[in-house]
Structure 1
Amino acid sequence: MGFLGCDSHGDLNDSEFSKPMPSIGIYVAVASLICGLAMAADLLHGFRHRKFWFPCKFFSLNATSLTFIAVAIKLSVDLNTSMPSRHDQLAKLSSSVFVCTVMGNSMPSLGIMDNEDLFMNLMALGILVITDVVNICIQLGTGAIYVFSEEHCLVLLLMLLMLMILSFSATTVPTTKRILEGKYKKKYDVALNCPLATERTVAKRIQQDLAKFWMMAHTSSPQFVMARSVTCTASGFFCLLSATTLGEAMVRSYLLKPRSLGFCHGDSDYKWSTTLVLVCQTTAVAIGTVAPAIRWFTAVNFRCPIRGKKYYRDEFRVESYWTHWFSEKKQRPLSLWILKGRRSRKVAHDAKRWMLDVCIVIQSVMVFASKIIRYISVYFVSRILVCCYLAFRTRGTVSHAESETSSSNPSSREDIARFVLHLEGEDELVDLMVRSNREATDHWIESGRKNQPINLIELLEATTSISKGFEGIREFDSNEVASLAPEEPPNCWALPLVTLTSIAVALPNVNPSSLKKLLSAGSEALYYVNKFECVLDTGGELANLRKAGEVVWLGVDLYHKWFDVDLQKLSKQERSPEETLLELVETAKKEFTESWNMNLMVCTKQTPSHWPIKTLAANSMYRLCQTILLEYESRDYGTGEALFKKLETIISDIVSGCFCNVAQVISAKCLVTAVEVREESVRGAALHLGRTEKILEIVERRCLPELRCDQMKKIDEWRAYYKINSSDCNNQNKKTVCPYADELRLTVE
């Protein structure tokens, strides 16, 4: 009887060792399929968002993807497992082509990494590729790979070339980011001071600015900069060539006299799983090749003579930013504290300079070779395009009409072209980038219009006819209310909105449909108010107040509860609105006292805005209920329905006041410091503009107080203004002021 891997005679029993191999094959197939799905997601994302340079959102070079790649190439690095059949040999080739596809697909992702991650990921990828190359060479020598030798040699060469392209292209990322960031800050000021046209409405003026901001953010996006580079074009060509090599091998082995290739009979230890690996990896290669191939074809198509480019001036010049990183490193001293002597330090420094000179030469040769590849591609592809042009010449009338449409507003195109940020040698790409992205903001805004906050718009429309100004901002909290604490916390936009809605839910004799609409409108309003206030509150002083609003709203929206108080149950009791408010006052006072005593050390040492969430929420409920009770004594609201309508008006005024800051919010979102997320931020601003365009039109009809931009973003500044100028709020003849600053300017640090 054998045990511990030995037979009854004590000899090694390896007959059971190959049983897990099909499971390993499934593991390899799943890893390949996951990579393929991620590349497919990037492809769909590019088509959906009209980014035909295909940024890497789901699949990029990082620790996770490198782990999956290492698993996926298991078959190509397997040295001692016999793989005789056609599927086995093709699976080894597909694993190598898969690596080329991964490198070609993920090249734009180099732009979004910081220097440390860039170095570590490329180092890991280099180790992976070198290991794969060495193992395949060994198998070619030992005969483990006995067919497709030429294909393997070509794929290995392409693999090494693509690794070199990735590594040396990565050295340009810090330089291009620095160059384009400087240009962005200069153009940002120009964009604010040079309107494209005079528009009267707020939304249209913001839309014009967004068109400029989008063009700047998009053309300076690190991924787009890398995707439009000549080395990425060459990488796309190599990726397409490697996929073609795999396709040629499969056609030969299945269709063109497969017996002549001399495949051996028998199965490998991986058995049927090699077929699964081959199918998954071939699918991943087919999907992953589309994006690099389109990048290559776009670059080639643009430079074809049929497109109007007749001369190739400076076509083969190597721009300075390609070698700037190496030149900069040459000037810096080595930080080798181990070397004490002057002679040893001099030798080390000279060796460093020599190595960097070699890198500069390699970089220059690589860029020059990439431009040669592009030129050769243009030469051959242009012949095909000329044939297509002649074949479809009969459609010249349509093309002429399209060209007239595209050039119907040349002045607008020229104005937008001023905000295209490009590098040295990219002058000819400016017009292409303008034509490709000039209407992108219109597309995002139109997408936003499909998801407008309908309930909030209905609420604002209904109350704007009642309130021509922003009286509710002054009225929601009275200075005559006695304080529960030694010092009052500041007000934010979100917490009063939530507290007033909570009070409205507790009122008796309210129409259920009206209450349902208010809750829906409040949920939509809180989403935008929180978004706006997060941008406006740059110091984070009001963060706890916003959190208090979010916590309270969660209970009100889902359970109709304010902490432990069932507001819906309270509304069904046979009480007057005044009695309901008094009970809420007592409950809030009790909650405040308990929370204050429990967190006495925090409350006494911290500023009021940093009090615990429950303390802030209870204080807000107490003050707002007391304010309504004071108004209740001076005004007879009658039934709960009448008071409910009054609360709706106050809520509408608060939301409208917050929306007066939309221009500042969009301006801030267009100048986020992280260049990697700036494009997405501007796109989000365009979507928000589309969703809130109708709201801006409603708010624009109101009477806006004469506040500066820095005052307008704080609700307490509005209250201070109305305290001094109490008559402005009721002045119906006052001219409406557009809630948009003619000159919005943020400090660029």
Structure 2
Amino acid sequence: MGVVGCSNDGYLNDAKFSEPMPWIGIYIATASLVCLLAMAADLVHGFRHRKFWFPCKFFTLNSTSLTLIAVAIKLSVDLNTSMPGREDQLAKLSSAVLMCTIMANCMPSLGSMENQEIFMNIMALGILVITLIINVCMEMGTGVIYVYMKEQVSILILMLVLLGILSFSALVVPSTKSYLEMKYSLRHELASKECKANEKEGKIAVERLKEGMIKYWMMAQTCSPQFVMGRSATCTASGAICLLSAGILAEAILTSYLTKKSFKFCNGQSDYKWSISFILVIQCVAVVVGTIAPAIRWFAAIKFRRPKLGKEGYKKEFTLENYWIQYLVEMKQCPLNIKVKNRRCRKLVHSTKNKFLDGCIILQTTIVFTSKVIRLISIFLVGGIFSFCDCFKSLKNKLCFKDTISMNSSGSEVDTDSKMDLSRFVLYLEGEDDLVHLMIANNYHATHHWIQKGQKKKPKILIHLLEGTIMSRGFKGVAEFDNLQVPCLDSQQPQNSWMLPVVTLTVIATSLPNMNRRLIKHLLRAVNEGLKYIRLIEDHLDTKGDFINLKKAAEIVWLGIDLHHKWLDIDIHKISHHKESPKEVLEQLSNCAKKIYSAEKKTNQHLCLKLSPSKWPIKVLAANCMYRISESMLLKYEKKYGHSSEQLFTEIEAIIGAIVGACLTNLEKVISTKCSNSAIEKREKSVRKAANILGKTGNILKLVEKTTLPALDPHQMESIEEWRLFYKLEI
């Protein structure tokens, strides 16, 4: 009997080793497709948000993307699989070009990483690139790659240059972040003072927020780490190199198919068989799509820098800004914490470190100057296109002179925001003085765009509810949902949150008998719209986490009533159908709540004794809230409304409107804080969200301002208990 895996003559049976290779080819094509889709998503995101420096949102350097890249470039590192045909050799080249394209695309993502994360990702990428270069060199030596030798060598050189640019650009990130963070703190103080001055002048909340938001957006956008990296000289150079590598691939493909006689390919078929065509097509498309973003960055830099050369000469192009080498200089100045007793050894280690860092500084200087030279050469090469475009524009302006005059005369109104001096809020690095005007022009209307986008999705039903409640009755309903005369179920009582009473009152309103279903649906939709902002406010205000369980209880109650018409597994529909009067409904809800409270309290007795009331189990908190509100309604409305569900529903709706309206008085503070308090990497996104919220809730803020507010401090207005106490004392 033969050994498993051996042929009849005893040798290793390798006949089937190559059978899975086409499926491995599909695996490579799939990984390349994922890279293509991620780069395309970043491209679409950049165009959609008018960010023509194309930040990396979907395709960044991380462990996942590096794994995908390693699979996508497998053909280039495949040492011993024969690749005889035209498509095989082109696929080898396209795999290497794809690596260059990915590196150029991912460069802005370095800005959004922490120092350790940058180091780890650059190290992993470096290992991957060096492995690819060594393997391709071996393949050229062994004959696995036997055509497109010049193209392969050119791509390897470009790849090595790109790796150097990426590695040394990463060293700039810590110093630029700290410098811009310092400038941001100074500008933040200035913006805060101006916002307070606007408040004293009596400007309405919406205008105050809008004006402040424009300033914060300008700061957030211009100090965005990815934008800082995207507008750097090295990133511009990487775009030129990426474009050049794509051109080399295009030249190889065109010459191989158009001049077939000049290339001699071997007979036979590779082990990848039919899958090689998929790999080649997908990788070529990925190179084309992936080249667009770096090319536009390069093109935009040339377009802006070209007219500046004529005015100021070439001095700035050959000036090394301090931030390029600041991190290396700081590392050189910092002593090494080494536990070596021998003085000579310590001296040797320190001198070696200093010499190594001196070499890095020289290399960094060389890379920066090389990047600037590439940009300068690009300006001369592409300058003719811009000159032609300028001539065409001037000719067009002369022909359309009359139309221009009529447009200027009709559009003489000036936006009030244009009076703002936004140059004070542009955060820029050394040598970027010329970019200030451009950054203002490109980002000036962004805030208006996000606000208008939010206005299209404003909560219309919630606004209608608030107009019908707080405009007529004010916020007095905040004190009416929980009567102090109701006997407590326990000696200790949890605090009230904003959200839990709202959802509990909604449960009671939907359980009332003989009610018009349209009114109930309208209330549910209004509350659903309001809860989005109550969540936002409670998450912002609850910095210590005291209300986590109260918020969870509210979420569970709302989920049950919104999706299943149930309150803690009790069918609300059955209660409303089987009871004839609101009193019976309230009594049953109160009894059910009391039973659940007792059962859950008994089960979790050890927790309830240890924890503060606000941190009791979720069902205990929900049941306690339902009991108190049901009993409060029974005390206040039994004699007043009798059997009228409609009148009680209207009263509950008014109380809900009062609580939601009172909670939303904190929106201005939340929006202001969201604009200013966030990490540098998330600042831009935070301001954009704040602008979107302002657009959605602008009408609510105006509505709240028209209503008489209680004489409470800003800190007191955050607490529903303070509101209740104020109105109780007033009564």
Counterpart for residue 362 of structure 2: 361
- Determine the C-alpha separation between the residues in 2 that align with 1:236 and 1:460: 53
Answering whether residue 479 of structure 2 is matched by residue 477 of structure 1, we say: no
Q: How far does residue 655 in structure 1 lie from its aligned partner after superposition? A: 0.8
1:700 Cα deviation from its structure 2 partner: 2.2
> Are 1:32 and 1:284, in contact at CA under 8 Å, matched by a contact in 2?
yes
User: Which of the residues 207, 211, 215 maps onto 2:210?
Assistant: 207
The 2-side partners of 1:311 and 1:414 are apart by 32
Local SS of the residue matching 2:510: helix
Partner of 1:740: none
* Greater Cα shift, 595-604 or 393-402: 393-402
- Tell me the percent identity: 52
| 1:745 corresponds to | none
How much does 1:634 deviate? Answer: 6.0
TM-superposed deviation, 1:725: 3.4
Give the residue type in structure 2 aligned to 1:223: Q
**Is 1:302 aligned to 2:304, yes or no?**
yes
> Is this contact kept in 1: 2:176–2:323, CA < 8 A?
yes
Name the residue aligned to 1:592.
597
Aligned-residue offset at 1:118: 1.0
Paired residues of 1:53 and 1:291 also in contact (CA < 8 A): yes
Structure 1 residue ranges without an equivalent (≥5) = 727-749
Matched, 1:625 2:630: yes
**Pairwise CA distance, 1:703:** 1.0
Q: Does 1:250 align with 2:253?
A: yes
Deviations 1:599-636 (A, max 9, x none): 11111111111111111111111111121122115633
Name the counterpart of 1:509: 514
Alpha-carbon distance, 1:113 to partner: 1.2
After alignment, is 549-558 or 477-486 more displaced?
477-486
- Distance in 2, Cα, partners of 1:91 & 1:282: 9
Q: Would you say 1:76 and 2:76 are equivalent positions?
A: yes
- The amino acid of 1:45's aligned partner reads H
User: 2:583, 2:643 within 8 Å by CA — same for their partners in 1?
Assistant: no
Alignment of 1:334-345 (within 5 A): 334-337=336-339, 339-345=340-346
The question of 1:227 aligning with 2:233 is answered no
Give the one of 634, 650, 658 matched to 2:655: 650
* Equivalent position to 2:546, from 541, 552, 556: 541
**Contact 2:505–2:656 (CA<8 Å) still a contact in 1?**
yes
2:314 aligned with 1:316: no
Task: Single out whichever of 694-703 and 146-155 deviates more from structure 2.
Answer: 694-703
Q: Which amino acid aligns with 1:214?
A: W
Q: How far apart, CA to CA, are the structure 2 residues paired with 1:551 and 1:205?
A: 37
Output one character per residue of 1:245-292: Cα deviation in whole Å (capped at 9) or x when no partner.
11111111112x122122222211111211111001101111111111
Within 1, Cα distance between the matches of 2:388 and 2:202? Answer: 47
Write out per-residue CA displacement over residues 36-60 of structure 1, whole angstroms, 9 at most, x where no aligned residue: 0011111111111222211111101
Matched, 1:426 2:427: no
1:303, 1:309 within 8 Å by CA — same for their partners in 2? no
Distance apart, 1:308 and its partner CA: 8.0
CA offset digits 1:182-227 (Å, max 9, x no partner): 2222211211222597784322221111111111111111111111
- CA deviation profile, 1:156-192 (whole Å, cap 9, x unmatched): 0110011011111111111111111122222112112
1:371 matched to 2:367: no
Q: Deviations over 1:713-743 (max 9, x none)?
A: 11112122223334xxxxxxxxxxxxxxxxx
Quick one: which amino acid aligns to residue 244 of structure 1? Answer: G
Partner of 1:734: none
Give a deviation string over 1:564-602, Cα, whole Å, max 9, x none: 221121112242211211111111111111111111111
Give 1:410 deviation, angstroms: 10
Q: CA deviation at 1:109?
A: 0.8
Distance in structure 2 (CA, Å) of the matches to 1:407 and 1:313: 41
Aligned to 2:530: 525
Give the structure with the larger helix fraction: 2
Superposed displacement of residue 87, structure 1: 0.3
Map of 1:670-681 to 2, 5 A cutoff?
A: 670-681=675-686
| Aligned partner letter, 1:436 | N
Code of the aligned partner of 2:278: L
Q: CA deviation at 1:310?
A: 5.1
Contact 2:222 2:439 in 1 (8 A): yes
Report what 1:639 is aligned to: 644
**In 1: Cα distance, 2:589 partner to 2:205 partner:** 40
Q: Write the deviation string for residues 339-363 of structure 1: whole angstroms up to 9, x where unpaired.
A: 2201100000000011011111111
Task: Tell me how large the CA RMSD over aligned residues is.
Answer: 2.1
The answer for the alignment partner of 1:271 in structure 2 is 273
- Between 396-405 and 205-214, report the one with greater CA deviation: 396-405
CA drift at 1:240: 0.9
> What amino acid is aligned across from residue 548 of structure 2 in structure 1?
A
Cα deviation for residue 392 of structure 1 reads 3.4
Given that 2:579 and 2:585 are in contact with CA atoms closer than 8 Å, whether structure 1 keeps it comes out as no
CA distance in 2: counterparts of 1:667 and 1:693, whole angstroms: 13
1:433-444 equivalences under 5 Å are: 433-444=439-450
State the 1:403 CA deviation: 9.7
- Output the CA distance in 1 between the equivalents of 2:546 and 2:185: 27
What are the residue-to-residue correspondences of 1:552-591 with 2, within 5 Å?
Answer: 552-591=557-596
More divergent stretch after superposition (394-403 vs 620-629): 394-403
Report the alpha carbon displacement of residue 454 of structure 1 after superposing the two structures with TM: 2.3
Range moving further from structure 2, 472-481 or 33-42: 472-481
Distance change in 2, residues 1:141/1:414 (3 Å)? farther
Deviations 1:49-74 (A, max 9, x none): 22221111110111111111111111
Query: For residues 224 and 725 of structure 1, what CA distance do their matches in structure 2 show?
Result: 54
Tell whether the 8 Å contact from 2:470 to 2:661 is kept in structure 1 after alignment.
no
**Aligned match of 1:733:** none
Q: TM-score, length-normalised on structure 1?
A: 0.93
Paired AA for residue 381 in structure 1: V
CA distance in structure 1 between the partners assigned to 2:528 and 2:206 by the alignment? 23
Task: Quote the offset at 1:409 in angstroms.
Answer: 6.0
Partner of 1:194, secondary structure, is helix
Contact 2:553–2:619 (CA under 8 A) maintained in structure 1: yes
Structure 1 residue aligned with 2:331: 329
Q: Is the 8 A contact 1:56 1:106 kept in 2?
A: yes
After TM superposition, the structure 1 stretch with the greater mean CA deviation from structure 2, 473-482 or 638-647, is 473-482
Structure 2 counterpart of 1:450: 456
Kept in 1: contact 2:211–2:417 (CA 8 A): no
Asked if 1:391 corresponds to 2:396, the answer is no
Out of 489, 493, 499, the position equivalent to 1:488 is 493
Cα deviation code 1:109-143 (max 9, x no counterpart) = 11111112111111110000000001111112222
What is the DSSP-based 3-state SS (H/G/I as helix, E as strand, rest coil) of the residue aligned with 1:144?
A: coil
Aligned AA (1:224)? F
Are the counterparts in 2 of residues 637 and 643 from structure 1 also a CA contact under 8 Å? no
What is the aligned residue count? Answer: 723
Matched, 1:287 2:289: yes
> For residues 438 and 52 of structure 2, what CA distance do their matches in structure 1 show?
12
In the TM superposition, what is the alpha-carbon distance from 1:698 to its structure 2 partner? 2.1
What TM-score, normalized to structure 2? 0.95
- 1:349 paired with 2:350, answer yes
2:663 partner amino acid: C
Partner of 1:262: 264
